[in-house]
Each structure stands twice: as structure tokens, then as C-alpha cells.
Amino acid sequence: MRRPLPRTLRGQLTAGLVALLALACLAVGVSTALALRGFLLGRLDEQLTASGGRFAASLEHEARPDADNLPDTRGQADATFGARLLDGRVTRAAVVDDTADRPVPLTDRERHALAAVPVDGRGHSVRFTTLGIYRVVAVRGDDRDVLLTGLPLHPVEETVHRLVAVEAAFFGAALVVTGVAGALWVRFSLRPLRRVTARATEVTRLPLAGGEVAMPAPLADTDERTEVGQVGRALNHMLGHVEDALVRRHTSEERLRHFAADASHELRTPVANIRGHAELALRHPGPVPGEVRHALQRIDAESRRMTGLVDDLLLLARLDAGRPLARESVDLTRLLLDATDDARAASPGHVWHLDLPEDPVTVTGDAHRLQQAVGNLLANVRTHTPPGTGATVALAADASAATVRVSDDGPGIPAALRPEIFGRFVRADHARSRATGSTGLGLAIVDAVVTAHHGSVTVTSAPGETAFVLTLPR
């Protein structure tokens, strides 16, 4: 299984440092091993050349019992190899063993290998079955023969292997120490970057969607000579722009909220007066022309709709301003019973169902506002689903929260409208909404009321099933 590469910058820097050091150690180790082997082979070749083929020359004639014709092993190191070739054929081969010579049996392959050694006074490697690898030098003899002298390569290879083992142990320890020290140093060097990351993470946790936001203090790591300092300086500039934009937005929202509250409050009196005069004119005992009566009826209807719009705007302005709601025990079971009875009376063409637990469910909150929120959801069903649609109001509760679910089997909410369904003045069908008196503030009031109770509201919709779920803490 392939191990994944480190993803953090600290891990990548540490791994890169160790990898570069490992490559450097490998290069130094290979270079020194090759250099030592070449040096030792050169010394071995010099030793063979200095011997002048004396041991091999003493093998020119077959040994006889008299001592004068014994091979000359004087000054020869143990395991020195000697061989004589005549007309490309090995006539005799021996090796020095305890200051005497010992004949060496040769295979056909070894005979061919010895015959192939060039007579150039330079060392060449030959592998023997019984002796191992030898360094062999070939020179011309006095009788048109070729004299071969060799020394074993085992000491050279053993020395090189020992060097490689020492280097491997030393470089391995160096890599471990460097890896640990490098990791600590990289961790120390990246402290400013961690501070930048922590500050950015702190900003992401701020409630930037609305309200007044207190931005964190600027970073102190702003040295432009370093990359981290440049990032910190850029982050400070960005946070400054974000804070300025948030202040401007909050100021604008406050002005708009105050304007909406003041305008709604000021409009209540003239709208009430218009409505009162229209009702008074409609109750006039004398004859009133039909056109005038129709106009008065329209004035009365529109003034009623405007009264509802002003009340909704004023409620939203108060909720936006964080005005405290009533804190009392609210029986949700009774509230849903009353709200469903009102909806059944207002729209008998719909099929209304209740799914309530046996025991009463209570929460702490504002009963009037919760009644208004549930009523808006039921009014939404009446307004946006055709007669005959089935609607279910369900209540569930546990130790921490109560859940109110209002669902219907109507046509559903258009997909393009769902992301902004709780926005203000959002209407599914503008023409129909205006004809039925909808202001587009009903679901916005539901969201504001539930949020003021520290709860949440969600919606899921598909053709044949739409559900609004209110979650209220108990």
C-alpha cells in the first residue's frame, strides 16, 4: 500500500529537508566507496606490477624432485596466484600457500578467462570457482609464453563493505537527528504562519451574516521581508476592508430598521383614520350610488390590507432590534388545536389533520407571537395550495426541544424560490399574492419569531409533499 505524502507545509518542508540530506548522503557514500575501491585496486595493481611476475616465471618448467626447480615463492604474499600460458593454453597454475605452491585446478571457463587477459601490464578481474575473484596482471615471458600473477580482491571488497556499513550507520543516525531537529526548526519557523491561520479561522467563526461584528485585532507579523509577513499584511488589509464594509452595512441596516419602525408607527394612525372614515361612510343611512359604495368598499379592503402590512413591518422591525419577547409558559398542544380550528373555519375546502401527543407539550416563550408564526404557516397552506389539499399539523417533543411540523400534499415550492423562501416580500406568484392580499412577509415573520425564541425553522419541498419544521427549545 502506497503511503500518502505529507500534506501540511511543515511535513512537506521536513520531508524535503530529509530527502535532500538523504540524496547528499547517498552521493557522498557512493563517491567515497567508488573512490576507495579505485584507490585500493590501483595499489593492488601496483603491487602486482612490482612483483614482476617472479612467481609465475618460476612455473615455466615442470617441477622436478630437485630443489633447484621448485617455484620461487620468496617475497610473495599468501594466496598469490600464478599461471603460465603457452600458445594461449594454460600449462600450469598455482597459488602460494604457507610459503609453498599449491596447484590450482581450473575449469574450461577459467582457462578461457585467463587466456583472454590482455598482456598490457594492467590489472583485470577474473573469477575462480575455488579461489574467488582475483586481480590478475599478464606480462610476456622469456620463452614466448605469458606469465599471469594475481592477488585476491577479497580484502579490497571487505574494506569497501566495511566503509559502506560505517557510512550507512553514520548517515542513518545523521538523517534521524536532522529529521527531528529539522521538524523542530520548521515548527519554530512557521509560528507566524500558524498565527495567521488562527486569525483567519477566528474570523470565519464570527457571525458575519448580520448584526454588529467585532473584528479581531490586526496581526503583528507584517514584516514585508518575509513571505509570512506579506501574507499577514495582506490579511490585515483584507480584515480592515471587511470591518469597514460590515460597519457600513450595520449602519445602513440600523437606519433602514429605524425608518421601517418609524414609518410603520406613523402610518398606523392615518391608515386607521382612512379605515374608520370608510366604514363610517358605508354605514351612512341615506342612498349611496353604487360606484361610490364600491369605491368605499375597496378603500376599506385596501386599508385593512395596509394595516396588516404596517403591523407586520413594525413587528419585524422590533424583532430585528432585539426587543425582548414575553417569557411565559406556552401550551403548544392548545395553541396548535386553536390554530388548526381557525384554519379549518377559514378554509373548509382543505383537509386538515392533527397529530398531537397524549401529554401536553409546553415551552417558554411568547404565546401571541408563536400563535402568529403557526397561523402564518397555515395561512401559507391555504393561500398556495388548491382546495382539497391535505394538510397535517404534528407536534413532537423530547427533553430538550419541541418540534412543530406543518406539511401538505400540494404542488410544492418552486426550486428557484426555496433558498430565499424566508426572505421579505418573497412571493411564489406575484399576481396571485397581490390578489389574495399576501404581503410576502408571512414566512419572514415565522423565521424572525422562531429565531427570537432561539429556535430554527427549515423547509423541505417536492411535488406532493411540502413540510415546514419549527424547532423550539424547551
Q: What DSSP string runs through 400-423?
A: SEEEEEEEE-SS---TTTGGGTTS
Range of the domain at 116: 23-159
Would you place residue 438 in the very low, low, confident or very high pLDDT band (cuts 50, 70, 90)?
A: low
Question: Hunting for cell 590489472 — which residue is that?
Answer: 123
Record the pTM.
0.48
Residue 123 sits in a domain of what CATH number? 3.30.450
Judge whether 114 lies within some domain: yes
Radius of gyration of the chain, Cα coordinates, nearest whole angstrom: 50
CATH code where residue 350 lies: 3.30.565.10
CA distances from 466 to 351, 406, 408, 451 (A): 15, 8, 5, 21
Query: What is the pLDDT, as a whole number, of residue 390?
Result: 93
Choose among 132, 64, 55: nearest CA to 101.
55
Provide mean pLDDT across the span 417-439: 65
Bridge-based pairing state of the strands 328-331 and 89-97? unpaired
Asked if residue 91 is part of any domain, the answer here is yes
The type of residue at 318 is R
Compute the average pLDDT of residues 182-211.
77
Domain count, the chain: 2
Does some domain include residue 72?
A: yes
Residue 100's pLDDT band, with cuts at 50, 70 and 90, is low
Q: What confidence tens digit (pLDDT) does each residue in 309-341 have? A: 777 777 777 777 667 778 899 999 999 999 999
Does residue 240 form part of some domain?
no
Contact assessment for residue 149 and residue 80, using Cβ atoms and an 8 Å cutoff: yes
Question: Is 242 within a domain?
Answer: no
Residue 124: inside a domain, yes or no? Answer: yes
Lowest mean pLDDT among 25-39, 150-164, 238-252, 433-447: 433-447
Residue where a domain stops, chosen among 137, 159, 181: 159
Residue 322 lies in a domain: no
Q: Considering 159, 190, 224, which residue would you say is the last residue of a domain?
A: 159
Report yes or no on 300 lying in a domain.
no
Q: Which residues contact 113 (CB under 8 A, 6 or more apart)?
A: 126, 127
The last residue of one of the domains, among 159, 191, 219, is: 159
24-63 pLDDT tens trace: 999 999 999 999 988 998 888 888 887 767 777 777 654 4
Answer with the residue of higher pLDDT: 8 or 159: 159
